Amino acid sequence: MKRIPSAFSVASLRAAHRRSKPGRRRFRARVAAGVFVLAASLLHAAGFPEAGISNGLLTAKLYLPDAATGYYRATRFDWSGQIPDLVYKGHSYFGEWNPAPYDPKLHDAITGPVEEFLTNNAGLGYAEAKAGGTFIKIGVGVIRKPDEPRFRQFETYEIVDPGKWTVKKHADSVEFTQIVADPSSGYAYRYTKIVRLLKGKPSMVLEHRLKNTGKKLIESDVYEHNFYMIDKQPTGPDVVVKFPFEVHATQDLHGLAETRGKQLVYLKELSPGGQSAQSNLTGFGSDPKDYDITEENLKTGAGVRQTSDRPVARINYWSIRSTACPEAYIHMSIPPGQEFTWKINYDFYTTK
């Protein structure tokens, strides 16, 4: 359970209240902010809709989508498939990595592995929508477009319609289905994701189906933002990320990490406070076999191999002290009435 943040001190607020009218306005604003943080923290402590699954080797907890009480209610990431805890042989792989005070509408107040859908780095239909009109974020719903010069990926927008979510829970899997239709934009879809633990293996698969039930072409990229935090160890020289190809960073990693052959390695432990190593990565081809990424903690001996049945369109790599995240993108183009499927496989292992 997270500690409830201390948003304000009573003594300081009383002093501000006594000083002046501006002081009283600041007092009210700080009280409102404090009440919001306190309410969010109490809700966090109270729990969220969730499900537990196991195959006898892996045990996982999943948060379930809910527009009123779900753990994540922002507009960046797909609401389904959030895993705050997955354990194999006593090793943990996911968790609450974000050091910011919890807020269900914070764009990255989420646990991995989760996905974001983007069309030309924006929501589906965002470019065509007028201010006050609507566009789509797949896995979220119908979104109101404000009067703004450009799409803000890290902003939380107004949700006009979260669609209809259906959740089917089984002992070793959870199936999520979201149905969304937006007549004003012409976009509509049926999205299904199954989080499944494979029988007799320390493996998990994310099975996806996206059917275009609207009138317009769905052109999108989707990436897996894993938010790995293996054994909750800090990101540093004990973390190694492996690829099946010679990998190259296109941006400066500032002496914190570097690519060596088929690996990305760390030269220093990342400091608290948001120090980050981030870059796009190149070297992959068009064969789905290049979607093969392994992350391992050398100190604890725990690792995970991530593969897919679709080719890589792009790889971004992002990390801070609490999480190290290879983000592999898949491209899709779905005409009306057609369906696109893809799988992401996770094989968990230990070396010690």
Nearest Cα to 332, choosing from 350, 310, 315, 351?
310
pLDDT of residue 47: 83
Two structure tokens written together for 264:
């990305």
Q: What DSSP string runs through 86-141?
A: EEETTEE-------SPP-TTSTT---SSEEEEEBTTB-BTTTTPPTT-EEEETTTE
What is the C-alpha separation between 137 and 141, in angstroms, rounded? 6
Q: Which segments in the chain show pLDDT lower than 50?
A: 1-29, 31-37, 39-43, 45
Same domain (yes/no): 38, 85: no
Q: Counting beta carbons within 10 angstroms of the beta carbon of residue 247, is it exposed (0 to 12), middle (13 to 18) or buried (19 or more)?
A: buried
Same domain (yes/no): 34, 55: no
Provide the edge-to-edge strand list for the sheet that holds 277-282. Answer: 114-118, 218-225, 323-334, 314-320, 277-282, 248-249
Query: Would residue 1 count as lying in a domain?
Result: no
Two structure tokens written together for 91:
């090793």
CATH number at residue 78: 2.70.98.10
pLDDT of residue 46: 57
Query: Would residue 3 count as lying in a domain?
Result: no
Nearest Cα to 324, choosing from 269, 283, 285, 273?
269
Query: Would residue 107 count as lying in a domain?
Result: yes
pLDDT of residue 349: 98
Query: Would residue 2 count as lying in a domain?
Result: no
Query: Would residue 4 count as lying in a domain?
Result: no
Q: Is the peptide bond before 234 cis (omega within 30 degrees of 0)?
A: no
pLDDT of residue 35: 45
Same domain (yes/no): 18, 153: no
Domain of 231 in residue numbering reads as: 48-352
Query: Would residue 5 count as lying in a domain?
Result: no
pLDDT of residue 37: 45
Q: What is the DSSP letter of 271?
A: P
Q: What is the pTM of this model?
A: 0.87
The total domain count for the chain is 2
Same domain (yes/no): 42, 106: no
